[in-house]
Structure 1
Amino acid sequence: MPIPPYRFLTEVLKGQGQVTFMPSALTGLFFAAALFAAGWEYGLYGLLGTAVGTATARLLGVDRGRVADGLEGFNACLVSTGCAVFLGADRISSVLMALGGAVVVTVVTAALANVLASWNLPTFTLPFCLVASATTMAAPGFHRVWEGAAGTTALTRPATGATSLSWTQLWHAFFADIGQIFFMPQWYVGLLFLLGIFAASRSAGLVACLGSAVGIATAWALGSPADGIAQGLMGYNAVLTAMAVCGVFIVADRWSLGYAVAAGAAATALTAAVTSFFAPSGGHTFTWPFVLTSLVFVAAVPSFPRLRRV
């Protein structure tokens, strides 16, 4: 039975909001506006991917509750937007890759959900990481996909340069850490994303700010190049990790707040390692550090009586 268009649109917007764990159509609207602010093509790719992923889940009969909450759209949103950023938004091949990726990531999500359910662990953005990594690493072997693509310009090798942060670089980094969750380095785009998080939950917004601050502080303390920090390349994984372990999957309190700081710092340190690991093959960091760190920190919770799973 066909669903009303407004309900499907709501599911799509919630899918975009779920990139930062927010099942809110209003958050998704902010996120869509942020992507359009970065470039109309990114806004379209984001909506297209989320819509295809959501529709695929519906056609395959995925639990209606998951679809309604946007849980079947956020990985597809990231895959599609990633195709625009790393393969070039103005290519027909990128559109086709985005469409195919949105379908495939829905299947991968179901497979991983079944596997990780045995340990009561969420999939996070692991489906996106697997599909996006396979796509970008394989793309150079297909000339119709890769020739003239823009993917060689972003995160293909570890950053180098001066480590001292100027005031401008510092506040740019604070917002860019949010924007880079969607591969966008512009501070104003990150600001729109942050406003979208606050629109759904003030506490989640504050934890996102904490994650960004932890990411910046950790990267600076470890001597990361200032340009990379300012572009948000070192802090976006800390934002997602902090949100995941303080309020989303672990009950928010003073203990989980400290846990979030530790997890955010670990994700930032791991970002450099993952970037170096993928550099020789032309792969990208994506949200691998967030996924790996969060899986470890959430899986460890049963051993810590002061922490409670949501």
Structure 2
Amino acid sequence: MASKSKENAAEELKPTEEKGCGQRFMSIFGECELSKNLIRRNKNSIYWIPFRFVDAILRGISQVVFVSNPISGALILSGIYLGGIVIGHGTLACTVGALLSALYFKQPSDAIQDGLTQFNGVLVGSVTFSLYPAIFGGVLDLRSWSITVLGSVISVPIQVALVGLLQGVKASFKNLLEKEERKEYGVPGFTLPFNLTACMVMSLLLATHQDSLDTSSQNPNKNSTAEIVPSSEDSLLASDVIVGVVKSMGQVYAVNTLPGSLLMLLGVFIYSPLLAFIELSGACLGTLLGLYLNPGYPGDVYAGIWGYCALLTAGATGGFFAILTPRAVPLVILAISTTAALQKTIQPFLQIGGLPVFTFPFVLTSWVFLLVTTDNGVLYRTDNPTVPERNIKIWMDTVTESRKLKIPDFIQKIRSNKIEDAA
């Protein structure tokens, strides 16, 4: 068995040399197997440590939107920089802080390399460095940088502790492969560590600036640098709504930039065209619901503030952690609608402390809908969260195989009934 495993490992490492240019080019899509193979082949070489470091940083940046691809991460980081040079620098600093924290706490090397321990720190950096000066008029001095980077470091142990707390939160689902009747699945922590850390960081930063802040005059729906547009029928333009849908991608990272959002969408598309479509559809529905739920602040809708949580909910429930079958589509739509309603509900409570909603609506809604058990195959959970195309292919192959197996059984029943009748 040991010799076989070595042979298999060697076979996995060969392809990059034998592949043609076309195959190598295609391997940069999805999870970027080209990068993974290079790291596997040179994991014991100290000269490849910088490459592994950069790969882990970029994958961490892309993991925020359920993507694991360094090229996608580079495009998303470029989009963040288009939102502001300081925001980009702050995001990088906090990502590095989270990576070093994960190494200190001895987290699994595969999880670190895949960016799973860094993505909360990414958001701590991008959101704080974007919102604190833009909305609250704060100054990004040495104290602000220190508190924010420390927050990214703290987000890692919070994430680890949350994983332990969620170990007992599971629900039983019908097993797609039918090897056993039902199987238990839990829920990940998503961006809850970021939410908790961001509340702490923002509260600390705001505590020293209360005298210069007039929170009562702030827009309670604001979550980024949105320009408030007077509410009128003339201002409700279809083009502005479309821009708001696209900007929802940027608002995941709290940056209000159309070119940056387009770059981020391109990054998601490189990983999975279907995931990009699902997330954009979620942003579209969330934005339209925002127009209905929040008619007094169309500027917030046009800035993408009502689409970013819905975008994340669509990605989580509509293809990454569950398989997007035809029966699952109404459930995903209901989850997106619930996200928008929950965002409207919790805004006043967080506004008491002068805080935005962050991604609380996405986290709470996704937890609920990923734990909805059914006996009719409405929701199939996946054992391997990855590109939605792969999960759908597994589902289609399983359905095709089950139909092939049922046909002979059906014929056998007909034959047995004929024999009984003849007797």
* Same-fold call, TM cutoff 0.5: yes
Name the CA shift for 1:172/1:84 in 2 (closer, same or farther; >3 Å).
same
Aligned-residue offset at 1:81: 1.6
Q: How high is the sequence identity, in percent, across the aligned residues? A: 25
Q: 2:292 aligns with which of 191, 211, 221?
A: 221
Q: 1:7 aligns with which of 52, 65, 72?
A: 52
Deviations along 1:80-106, one digit per CA (max 9) or x if unpaired, are 122212334732122101210111000
Q: What's the counterpart of residue 238 of structure 2?
A: 167
Name the CA shift for 1:136/1:30 in 2 (closer, same or farther; >3 Å).
same
Deviations along 1:262-283, one digit per CA (max 9) or x if unpaired, are 1111111111122222112111
Aligned-residue offset at 1:147: 7.9
Aligned-residue offset at 1:154: 11
Name the CA shift for 1:93/1:302 in 2 (closer, same or farther; >3 Å).
farther
Residue 287 in 1 paired to residue 356 in 2? no
CA contact (8 A) 1:301 1:309 kept: no
Amino acid at match of 1:259: L
CA contact (8 A) 1:163 1:220 kept: no
Q: What's the counterpart of residue 158 of structure 2?
A: 108
Which structure has the larger Rg over C-alpha atoms?
2
Q: What's the counterpart of residue 269 of structure 1?
A: 341
Q: 2:104 aligns with which of 59, 74, 78?
A: 59
Q: Superposed, which structure 2 residues align to 1:90-109 within 5 Å?
A: 90-109=140-159
CA contact (8 A) 1:176 1:187 kept: yes
TM (norm. structure 2) is 0.68
Aligned-residue offset at 1:192: 1.3
Q: 2:203 aligns with which of 137, 152, 164?
A: 137
Residue 203 in 1 paired to residue 268 in 2? no
Q: 2: CA distance between counterparts of 1:156 and 1:129?
A: 20
Say which SS state the counterpart of residue 52 (structure 1) adopts.
helix
CA contact (8 A) 2:82 2:257 kept: no
Say which SS state the counterpart of residue 370 (structure 2) adopts.
helix
Name the CA shift for 1:301/1:94 in 2 (closer, same or farther; >3 Å).
farther
Q: 2: CA distance between counterparts of 1:107 and 1:14?
A: 19
Q: 2: CA distance between counterparts of 1:51 and 1:25?
A: 15
CA contact (8 A) 2:327 2:377 kept: no
Aligned-residue offset at 1:242: 0.4
Deviations along 1:126-154, one digit per CA (max 9) or x if unpaired, are 000011012223433235xx7879x9699
Deviations along 1:44-65, one digit per CA (max 9) or x if unpaired, are 1111111211121022110112
Aligned-residue offset at 1:42: 1.1
Q: 1: CA distance between counterparts of 2:365 and 2:300?
A: 21
Greater shift, 113-122 or 87-96, is seen at 87-96
Q: 1: CA distance between counterparts of 2:375 and 2:369?
A: 11
Amino acid at match of 2:220: R
Q: What's the counterpart of residue 256 of structure 2?
A: 185
Amino acid at match of 2:316: A
CA contact (8 A) 1:156 1:275 kept: no
Aligned-residue offset at 1:223: 4.7
Q: 2: CA distance between counterparts of 1:139 and 1:92?
A: 12
Residue 278 in 1 paired to residue 328 in 2? no
Residue 72 in 1 paired to residue 131 in 2? no
Residue 44 in 1 paired to residue 44 in 2? no
Aligned-residue offset at 1:110: 0.3
CA contact (8 A) 2:283 2:311 kept: yes
Aligned-residue offset at 1:291: 0.6
CA contact (8 A) 2:92 2:122 kept: yes
CA contact (8 A) 1:241 1:294 kept: yes
Q: 2: CA distance between counterparts of 1:258 and 1:135?
A: 38
Say which SS state the counterpart of residue 281 (structure 1) adopts.
coil
Residue 22 in 1 paired to residue 67 in 2? yes
Q: 1: CA distance between counterparts of 2:154 and 2:259?
A: 32
Amino acid at match of 1:83: T
CA contact (8 A) 2:80 2:250 kept: no
Aligned-residue offset at 1:304: 6.0
Q: What's the counterpart of residue 231 of structure 1?
A: 303
Deviations along 1:261-310, one digit per CA (max 9) or x if unpaired, are 11111111111122222112111110011011111111214566321111
Q: 1: CA distance between counterparts of 2:369 and 2:301?
A: 24
Greater shift, 116-125 or 70-79, is seen at 116-125
Q: What's the counterpart of residue 85 of structure 1?
A: 130
Q: 1:248 aligns with which of 320, 324, 337?
A: 320
Name the CA shift for 1:47/1:189 in 2 (closer, same or farther; >3 Å).
same
Q: 2: CA distance between counterparts of 1:47 and 1:246?
A: 29
Greater shift, 222-231 or 158-167, is seen at 158-167
CA contact (8 A) 1:16 1:28 kept: yes
CA contact (8 A) 2:97 2:150 kept: no
Deviations along 1:15-36, one digit per CA (max 9) or x if unpaired, are 0000001011111111110011
CA contact (8 A) 1:156 1:283 kept: no
How many equivalent residue pairs?
Answer: 307
Q: 2: CA distance between counterparts of 1:73 and 1:204?
A: 21
Q: 1: CA distance between counterparts of 2:373 and 2:159?
A: 23
Q: What's the counterpart of residue 123 of structure 1?
A: 189
Q: What's the counterpart of residue 157 of structure 1?
A: 220
Note the residue ranges of structure 1 that are not aligned, 5 or more in a row: none
